[in-house]
């Protein structure tokens, strides 16, 4: 009898692999997290309980009880809101060197109508790998030329893009950059100048068309998908996400945005520290990162990338942090940790990957902190989640109790003590 039990147990354990599942299924239901240190981000840190019901945070308080809720004792543990990465290609690229698995970069200079949400693969292997590090929500964005497309904020759980969609999209623009782009850039100074003038002219022409289109669209006209995608930006309903990194480009982009009178968010902003006061003056929010990158110029101080978020924040800029990664979006808390160590402080760095990106994406009513009524995106861990060695023990996305499994943990389980080992 015992043997049969064993066989049944083994079958259950192996079933996920037999059916080709990537990880175990998540479970849904009311959960009561007891006796935790709850880092709310927006209302300080409290000792108490947290009730998850119907996918949202139903209650935060002390001595909570709930019938039928699964209770998890969190004594000595911490609850944090799920981290939000303000810029990734997660779900759009599976293996970056295999071009047919790369869905982030459509052909053409003006493709704002390309929807990241269409190409997000809910079963991307990197998604479980990312979320078990506490990153529950990301902005997944196309990359490419002048107007690469429309990015979408997604939760890292669900089987269709619609199940993952977190209610915010944004059109992206790459501000025409000047200067040499790296050691491989062999263009002459004259060519560099010409190229940037050409790009600016392209921008000017397309913008003029988009302005007219947004006007005549009221009265009817021929449908143009590129220009139609720009309408919410032209009307100021949606911010334009402008990727811009170099000092002079940032200043030019500031002047441009000011002239156009649109809502804008700057992304990348590697040299934001050089023009932090201007960014603050024009009240432009920033999604910066990666923090873990080499300085942009060989003449730069070695730590300019680490201190960049702190310097912008200090000047009064609203700063969110991103990884701009695909398979290693899981390093978001470490990017924030470096920013914290190099001047930003733990509290502000935590905001930069929770409530601040939620505000920038216009979803702060549902995301970015532990508050009653917000989406139950949160995790339980045994220490400071920026600290490299901290272990995350429970993960909830939209109230789903998500298994702490990914390809990486499954391979660990299988190979730590391989069987058969060295002997046949």
Partner 1 sequence: MNIMVMKNIYLLFISLFISSVLSAQNDGDVLIKNGTVITITDGVKENTDVLIRNGKIEQIGEGIEVGDIKTIDAEGLFVMPGIIDAHSHIALDVVNEATNPVTAEVFVGDGLDPYDVGIYRALAGGVTISHAMHGSANAIGGQCETIKHRYGEIDPEAIRMDGAPRTIKFALGENPMRVHGERSNIAPATRMGMEQIFRNAFEEGKAYIKAKKDFASGNAELAPLYNTRSEVMADILKGDIIIHCHSYRADEIYMLLKVLEDYGVKRICFQHVNEGFKVAPELAAYGAHASVFSDWWAYKFEVYYSTAYNAAILAENGVVTSINSDSGELIRHLYHEAAKTQRYGSLSDNEALKLITLNPAIQLGIEDRVGSLEKGKDGDIAIFKNHPLSIYAIPQMTIVDGVVRFDINEDNYDMRLDVDPDETIPTFFETESHSHHGEGDRCMQDVYEFLNHKH
Q: Is 1 in the site for partner 1 (CB under 8 A)?
A: no
39-49: string of b/e by CB count within 10 Å (b at 16+)?
bbbeeeebebb
Of the listed pieces 45-53, 161-169, 275-283, 387-395, which binds partner 1 according to CB under 8 A?
A: 387-395
Q: In the stretch 200-239, what mask flags binding to partner 1 with x, by CB under 8 A? A: ----------------------------------------
Cis peptide upstream of residue 275 (ω within 30 degrees of 0):
no
Q: Is 251 in the site for partner 1 (CB under 8 A)?
A: no
Q: Is 276 in the site for partner 1 (CB under 8 A)?
A: no
Q: How far is the CB of 89 from partner 1 (least distance, A)?
A: 7
Nearer to partner 1, 259 or 418 (CB): 418
- Out of 181, 198, 204, 235, the only residue in the binding site for partner 1 (CB under 8 A) is 181
Indicate the angle between helix axes 304-315 and 332-339, nearest 10 degrees: 70
Q: Which of 328, 318, 326, 401 is closest to 360 using CA atoms?
A: 318
DSSP string across 271-330:
TGGGGHHHHHHTT--EEE--SSS--SSTTS-TTHHHHHHHHHHHHT--EEE----STTGG
Task: Give the contacts of 368 (CB within 8 A, at least 6 positions apart).
Answer: 41, 42, 81, 84, 354, 355, 356, 357, 358, 359, 374
Q: Is 295 in the site for partner 1 (CB under 8 A)?
A: yes
Structure tokens at 179: 């200067």
Task: Give the contacts of 183 (CB within 8 A, at least 6 positions apart).
Answer: none
Q: How far is the CB of 2 from partner 1 (least distance, A)?
A: 31
Nearer to partner 1, 71 or 384 (CB): 384
What are the backbone angles phi and psi of residue 87, rounded to the nearest 5°? -175, 115
Nearer to partner 1, 103 or 325 (CB): 325
Q: In the stretch 91-130, what mask flags binding to partner 1 with x, by CB under 8 A? A: --xxxxxxx-------------------------xx----
Structure tokens at 38: 């709850």
Q: How far is the CB of 261 from partner 1 (least distance, A)?
A: 29
Task: Give the contacts of 124 (CB within 8 A, at least 6 positions apart).
Answer: 90, 91, 94
Nearer to partner 1, 292 or 315 (CB): 292
The rounded distance, in Å, linking the Cα atoms of 414 and 90 is 26
Looking at residues 327 to 386 of the shown chain, list those that interact with partner 1 (rule: CB under 8 A).
327-328, 330-331, 334, 337-338, 340-342, 384, 386
294-318: string of b/e by CB count within 10 Å (b at 16+)?
ebbeeeeeeebbbbbbbbbbbbebb
- Out of 128, 290, 309, 368, the only residue in the binding site for partner 1 (CB under 8 A) is 290
Q: Is 415 in the site for partner 1 (CB under 8 A)?
A: yes
Q: How far is the CB of 101 from partner 1 (least distance, A)?
A: 9
Which residues partner with 268 through β-bridges?
244, 288
Q: In the stretch 26-65, what mask flags binding to partner 1 with x, by CB under 8 A? A: ----------------------------------------
Which residues partner with 32 through β-bridges?
51, 71
Of the listed pieces 62-70, 175-183, 207-215, 352-360, which binds partner 1 according to CB under 8 A?
A: 175-183
Which residues are at the interface with partner 1 (CB under 8 A)? Answer: 89, 93-99, 125-126, 133, 143, 177, 179-185, 189, 192, 245-246, 270, 290, 292-303, 324-328, 330-331, 334, 337-338, 340-342, 384, 386-391, 407-409, 411-412, 415-416, 418, 421-422
């Amino acid at each position: 009898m015992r043997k049969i039990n064993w066989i049944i147990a083994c079958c259950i354990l192996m079933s996920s692999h037999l059916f080709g599942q990537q990880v175990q299924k998540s479970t849904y239901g009311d959960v009561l997290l007891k006796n935790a240190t709850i880092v709310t981000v927006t209302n300080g840190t409290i000792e108490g309980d947290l009730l998850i019901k119907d996918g949202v945070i139903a209650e935060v308080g002390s001595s909570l009880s709930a019938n039928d809720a699964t209770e998890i004792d969190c004594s000595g543990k911490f609850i944090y809101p799920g981290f939000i990465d303000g810029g990734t290609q997660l779900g759009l690229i599976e293996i970056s060197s295999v071009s047919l698995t790369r869905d982030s970069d459509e052909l053409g200079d003006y493709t704002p109508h390309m929807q990241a949400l269409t190409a997000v693969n809910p079963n991307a292997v990197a998604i479980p790998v990312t979320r078990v590090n506490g990153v529950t929500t990301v902005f997944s964005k196309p990359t490419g030329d002048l107007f690469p497309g429309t990015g979408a904020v997604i939760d890292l759980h669900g089987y269709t893009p619609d199940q993952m969609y977190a209610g915010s999209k944004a059109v992206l623009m790459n501000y025409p950059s000047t200067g040499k782009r790296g050691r491989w850039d062999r263009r002459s100074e004259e060519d560099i100048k010409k190229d940037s003038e050409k790009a600016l002219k392209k921008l000017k022409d397309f913008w003029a068309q988009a302005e007219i289109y947004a006007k005549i669209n009221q009265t009817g006209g021929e449908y143009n998908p590129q220009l139609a995608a720009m309408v919410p930006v032209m009307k100021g309903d949606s911010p334009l996400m402008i990727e811009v990194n170099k000092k002079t480009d940032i200043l030019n982009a500031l002047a441009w945005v000011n002239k156009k009178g649109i809502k804008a968010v700057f992304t990348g902003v590697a040299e934001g520290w050089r023009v932090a006061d201007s960014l603050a003056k024009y009240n432009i929010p920033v999604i910066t990162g990666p923090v873990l990158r080499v300085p942009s110029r060989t003449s730069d101080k070695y730590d300019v990338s680490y201190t960049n978020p702190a310097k912008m924040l200090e000047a009064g800029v609203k700063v969110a942090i991103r990884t701009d990664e695909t398979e290693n979006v899981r390093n978001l808390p470490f990017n924030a940790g470096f920013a914290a160590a190099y001047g930003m402080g733990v509290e502000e760095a935590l905001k930069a990957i929770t409530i601040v990106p939620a505000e920038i994406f216009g979803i702060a009513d549902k995301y970015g902190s532990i508050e009653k009524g917000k989406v139950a995106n949160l995790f339980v861990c045994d220490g400071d989640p920026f600290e490299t060695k901290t272990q995350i023990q429970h993960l909830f996305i939209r109230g789903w109790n998500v298994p702490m499994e990914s390809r990486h943990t499954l391979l660990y389980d299988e190979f730590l003590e391989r069987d058969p080992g060295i002997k046949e």
